[in-house]
Structure 1
Amino acid sequence: MVALSRRTLLKTSAVAGLYGIGLGASKLLHAAQPDPLSIEAKFTSAMIDGAHETKKMATYAIAGSKGPMPPAIRMKRDTPFAAKLINHLDDATTIHWHGLRIPNKMDGVPFLTQPYVYQGDSFDYAFTPPDAGTFWYHPHCNTMDQISTGMTGMLIVEDPNDPVFDAEIDLNLRDFRLGSDGQFIALFKPRDAARAGTYGTVRTANWQLEPRYDAPSGGLVRIRMADTDVTRIYNMRLEGAEAVIIALDGQPLPDIRKLDMAVVAPGQRIDLILKMPEGEGQEARLIDVRPSTPKVIASFRATGPSLKRSLADVAPLAPNPFQMPDLKNAERIPLVLSATAEDAARPSICGSLGYSFWAINKKPWTGDNPDPTAPLAEMKLGKSYIIELENSTPQAHPIHLHGMNFKAIASSSRTVDPLISDTYLVLPDEKVQLALVADNPGDWLIHCHIIEHQKTGMTAYVRVS
């Protein structure tokens, strides 16, 4: 989890490469595929609350990985990747590669892009990731049960030209709903699902309570974080050191910014460069200040003589390809997030929570079922669009678009950060405009990544053809 190197980032290693012209058809898609990585969906047990062994946790197991937590999967940009999912769970499952702009049939959404993978079955994934950055992987079938009980893993796409820091630490941030005996309790409460969502009782980073990591004194450490929780939104601050943000949601920032407070919602990611304290044994702590009592997420302890690095030496990463939308000629797509009490949820092999609390454009769809609604919009390949996203509810919703990236261009309630992303946290009563080029053909899900909201209706899809 912590990789050490004596090399240091210098400004001379800064930005290389140019923006591409959209996803297009990569010639590497036709390259010979590597031997597939075997990924087993299975049950395990783990010490989560520090006192009890939690039984029947769900995980992804990969040969050579250590511990019960799903390991970080590493790929290389523009290099073919292949994996075979083998399902040992009681229920059907899939893998969705969150944030990757890959072929539609590899996206992992049952009934929409691929068949579900039932117990004892397998499915072959093969694609070439076009973007470098921090992503994550999780099921999109029986999503509430499987994510809540453990099935979320970090996904790192490396750029061979990326700088190498003095250490790298990956943090998979998530809660678990455990009782006093350390075993799972009800994964959600209907009254909470109809509001902000049901929070976990035990908060972890990498399935640990307030883990501590060692890194070189005075060194520069890359910290990759993914909020893989079903509900929790983090407000992050750093104590005892300084850090800068170099990437959000897998996309490099054109201008590095100092970490003050960062808001990270379910589905979102953030990459920090932490300047470790100079003195051996000194600690920096990452804090979530959103609850009434601030909570330590993880701490970082300085070891050895100081390397005396400087955050002034940190330079922007090379950008990923992104085709700028033609705003003047873009077609507008209205999208309203609302509550609903219509259309009771239907049973599905991929799980139902039994309620319809939420809707997109007045139509609740729980997703993961064989009878989807009509597409929210039919988009022409290569054409520019502006999604006019209106949140008419008193709750925040992190809206995630599969298969494509967008750029926020306007908001009714705040100054827009014009960054490229795949997940946008829409505030209560906010109206936001998200611009994109429809550059990836297929049926692409768009949904709230508070999983209870997704599974009780705040789900739809767009068609690109």
Structure 2
Amino acid sequence: MLGLSRRELLLGSAAAGAAFATGGLAARAANSPDHTLTISPYEHGLLPGTITRDMMSFAPDDPPPVLRMRRGEKALIDVQNTLDEASVVHWHGLRIANAMDGVPYLTQHPIEAGQSFRYAFTPPDAGTFWYHPHCNTLEQMGRGLTGVLIVDEDEDPGFDLDVPLNIRDFRLGGDGQFIEMFKARNAARGGTYGTVSTVNWQIGPVYEVPAGGLVRLRLALTDVTRVGTFGVEGGVSQVIALDSNPLPGPMSAGNILLSPGQRADVALRVPDDDGEEVTLFLRRPNGDKALARFKATGASANRQLADLKPLPANPVPKPDLRNAEVIDFVFGWSPEGDAPQASICGSLGYTFWSINRKAWPGDVPGPLDPLARMKLGKSYILRLRNESPNAHPIHLHGVSFQLLRSNKRKLPPLVTDTALLLEEETMEVALVADNPGDWAFHCHVIEHQKTGLAGFLRIES
């Protein structure tokens, strides 16, 4: 059984360790980091009775890692790359300075083998985020390089336990070893699914939770491909935030549609009886799959969901819809003739996808043109049209946006960083261009991203 406390879920700040400044060592103890991440090869037992080789980890002593920060407080994160290939770290969903966003060549040079880099930023928003490489992305994420990042609210909402859930598949054969990361015919369609479903790198973990208590389940879908519906059964539960932003009102936790990169915060009131269980399921047409269980322990705490303080809204500016400029984007197959360029950050060797008929050439120094230019402080409506029969979770770095409308379904007015476009769906979202820089804009099905469905938006004064 796995019992997790709020503090045990923190990846410790390595104040006693060596600090790495941007591009080199920093000797002063006063300049030591809040967190240290070591990108390294790793071996781990994913399937029973086997050790999976050639994995990768951000924290070899505690995989998969969880970083915890506080809203409005500056954090220093030192990253050392001990792989024999380049990498970077992107902080998914955080609205931080462009230079800290972790996209090769667009915001920084790749962290090459043996090098280190210091990320320094102040998270403006509270909620559930995550982080991952943006270089050799399919291989590195596919082998395990993902971590959950939690930014605490200014005031504790009152949970008894906080449980981050890093949800992802691995592509393994029956011997527990990696098989090919993708198949070209799948990359040209919906993507290549994993074969082994895990939560926090475990198959069907069981977590001990306080009977009658209030638990915050932080679902982070860090998979490279899967678009799925997840559900919590047992106890009383409700979704209180999506993609780091509190909902205007709670929604059912029975069917939560998530795509790669998205997150959901679930408030769970644990059953009163010792030994009673709550289950997190992946909904499937051929039968739901249990991903994790939460076992009530001890005497009932007799808590109620009404005991929780409402989550405060994040300070995301509201767009001026009456004066917003509309920009159109079309997501579809790549025109013939486009080919990926060789890059230190790898290529899948194919170009299947494009934005506005232009395929991303890969992570190369450029110069490259933005898909659109936006003026700092101005409001925009982005009209996102999916002309393909495949789903595309479209993620924008550095800026949050509000869902407005769809030609296929009614959308709640959610604030998010990822819009899931369904088959042949056209969706409009609105934002304020409040964060200057070149911001990556791409599908988070990584095979789609790495075969052309990517670009960037420029916000300039």
- Please, what TM-score do these two structures have when normalized by structure 1? 0.91
Asked whether the 8 Å contact 1:393–1:429 carries over to 2, the reply is yes
Structure 1 position 418, deviation (Å)? 0.5
Structure 1 position 417, deviation (Å)? 1.0
Counterpart mapping for 1:400-415 below 5 A:
400-415=395-410
Moved more, 143-152 or 372-381: 372-381
Q: Relative to 1, partners in 2 of residues 1:332 and 1:210: Cα closer, same or farther, differing over 3 Å?
A: same
Structure 1 position 256, deviation (Å)? 2.0
Structure 1 position 83, deviation (Å)? 1.3
**CA deviation profile, 1:372-411 (whole Å, cap 9, x unmatched):** 6410111000000000000111011111000000001111
Distance 1:336 1:205 in 2: 34
Structure 1 gap ranges (5+): 6-31
Distance 2:375 2:184 in 1: 39
**CA deviation profile, 1:267-321 (whole Å, cap 9, x unmatched):** 0000001111111111111111135221111110010011122223334201110
Query: What's 1:456 paired with?
Result: 451
Asked whether the 8 Å contact 1:153–1:172 carries over to 2, the reply is yes
1:3 has 2:1 as partner: no
Aligned length: 435
Query: What's 2:352 paired with?
Result: 357
**CA deviation profile, 1:249-282 (whole Å, cap 9, x unmatched):** 0111121223231101100000001111111111
SS at the partner of 2:58? strand
Q: In percent, how many aligned pairs have the same letter?
A: 51
Query: What's 2:166 paired with?
Result: 172
Distance 1:160 1:320 in 2: 11
Q: Which of the numbers 157, 160, 169 marks the counterpart of 1:163?
A: 157
Distance 1:464 1:184 in 2: 40
Structure 1 position 242, deviation (Å)? 2.1
Query: What's 2:425 paired with?
Result: 430
Asked whether the 8 Å contact 2:340–2:362 carries over to 1, the reply is no
SS at the partner of 1:3? coil
Q: Which of the numbers 374, 394, 399 marks the counterpart of 2:394?
A: 399
Distance 2:455 2:277 in 1: 45
1:420 has 2:415 as partner: yes
Distance 1:60 1:434 in 2: 34
Q: What residue identity is the alignment partner of 1:152?
A: T
Q: Relative to 1, partners in 2 of residues 1:292 and 1:369: Cα closer, same or farther, differing over 3 Å?
A: farther
Asked whether the 8 Å contact 1:357–1:457 carries over to 2, the reply is yes
Counterpart mapping for 1:52-131 below 5 A:
52-61=50-59, 66-67=61-62, 69-131=63-125
Query: What's 1:22 paired with?
Result: none
Query: What's 1:28 paired with?
Result: none
Q: Relative to 1, partners in 2 of residues 1:404 and 1:33: Cα closer, same or farther, differing over 3 Å?
A: farther
Asked whether the 8 Å contact 1:234–1:263 carries over to 2, the reply is yes
Query: What's 1:308 paired with?
Result: 302
Distance 1:459 1:89 in 2: 26
Query: What's 1:244 paired with?
Result: 238
SS at the partner of 2:140? helix
Query: What's 2:13 paired with?
Result: none
Query: What's 2:290 paired with?
Result: 296
Q: Which of the numbers 220, 226, 235 marks the counterpart of 1:232?
A: 226
**CA deviation profile, 1:154-192 (whole Å, cap 9, x unmatched):** 000112313131111110000100111111110001011
Distance 1:193 1:291 in 2: 22
SS at the partner of 1:61? coil
1:446 has 2:431 as partner: no
Asked whether the 8 Å contact 1:366–1:454 carries over to 2, the reply is no
Q: Relative to 1, partners in 2 of residues 1:273 and 1:4: Cα closer, same or farther, differing over 3 Å?
A: same
Instruction: Return the structure number with greater relative CO, CA threshold 8 A, min gap 6.
Output: 1
Q: What residue identity is the alignment partner of 1:310?
A: Q
Q: What residue identity is the alignment partner of 2:446?
A: I
Q: Relative to 1, partners in 2 of residues 1:2 and 1:366: Cα closer, same or farther, differing over 3 Å?
A: farther
SS at the partner of 1:382? coil
Distance 1:377 1:160 in 2: 36
1:280 has 2:278 as partner: no
- RMSD of aligned C-alpha atoms? 1.5
1:188 has 2:182 as partner: yes
Query: What's 1:8 paired with?
Result: none
SS at the partner of 2:59? strand
Query: What's 1:11 paired with?
Result: none
Distance 2:431 2:248 in 1: 18
Distance 1:288 1:77 in 2: 31
SS at the partner of 2:322? helix
Query: What's 2:261 paired with?
Result: 267
SS at the partner of 2:399? coil
